[in-house]
Amino acid sequence: MNLSGNTVLITGGATGIGLGLAAAFLRHGSKVIICGRREHKLREAQAKHPELTIRVCDVGNERDRVALYEWAVAQFPDLNVLVNNAGIQREIDFSALAEEAAEPDAEPMGGAQDAVQAAATARPAGAWQTAEQEIRINLEAPIHLTALFIPHLIRQPQAAILNVTSGLAFTPMARMPVYCATKAALHSFTLSLRHQLRHTAVKVIEVIPPMVDTELDQGARARRGQTYRGIPVDEFIQGILPGLAQGLPEVAYGTAERARTMSRAEMDEAFRRMNG
């Protein structure tokens, strides 16, 4: 795809990979709109890159998604690139749910993040609420936004939909079952969407990161004592830009590129190593 001359909307664009993509598109002369749930993070991003247009939006909320679409196409009629990047990642141990019967009144200890984790690992209701939020943000939102924006995008001379998945879509990490499942589902959806739009001007591209050092699940990484937090965002962005410029349908980097091209036997072996 052409990285310049676009009008790009990036969900979850205030930090991490979303902000890295926003900066890259700006450097190549594109107009960029980012949205996110936290206004202060959006304003911090805009302070770094004054050319950005920002919009507060919780893509996990259906009304917010509709409002985002209506605002975006009204304010930016030349909008031609949608980047479905927003995502959350949670640890949910479904094997621990039976413990609720033994300790139904157990209170979570520690801060807010620990409370979320305790709810997810000890109580069925908490586990479902956590899982449902992941499904809404990671899968429901990109599918709904795609459905909303396609009638607009299909009228543009050149257009693209970029779905950000994960190397974990191919080889899941069992401690994050719902996150990995949503990314695998988004990978599948992207394949089908690309096939359905193959005769249009809308290119459908999957961006597949490895572990990248972002805010994603940093609290859980710290609790696990995990010292390696992933590759720097800038390294990942620089690693995928050539593939985007070439118009590759799937653009991965590092371990995610290896995961994308594994045989089934290799995937099974990787799963055993990762979850040993």
Indicate which residues carry an active-site annotation.
179
49/233 Cα distance (integer angstroms): 16
Of 215, 176, 209, 203, nearest to 37 by C-alpha is 215
- From the CB of residue 225, how many other CB atoms can be counted at a distance below 10 Å? 6
261/273 Cα distance (integer angstroms): 17
Q: Side by side, which strands form the sheet with 81-84?
A: 53-56, 31-36, 7-11, 81-84, 159-164, 202-208, 250-252
Q: What is the 3-state secondary structure (H, E, C) of 64-116?
A: HHHHHHHHHHHHCCCCCEEEECCCCCCCCCHHHHHHHHHCCCCCCCCCHHHHH
Residue found under tokens 């009204």: 74
Residue 37 corresponds to which tokens in the numbers above? 């749930």
- From the CB of residue 244, how many other CB atoms can be counted at a distance below 10 Å? 21
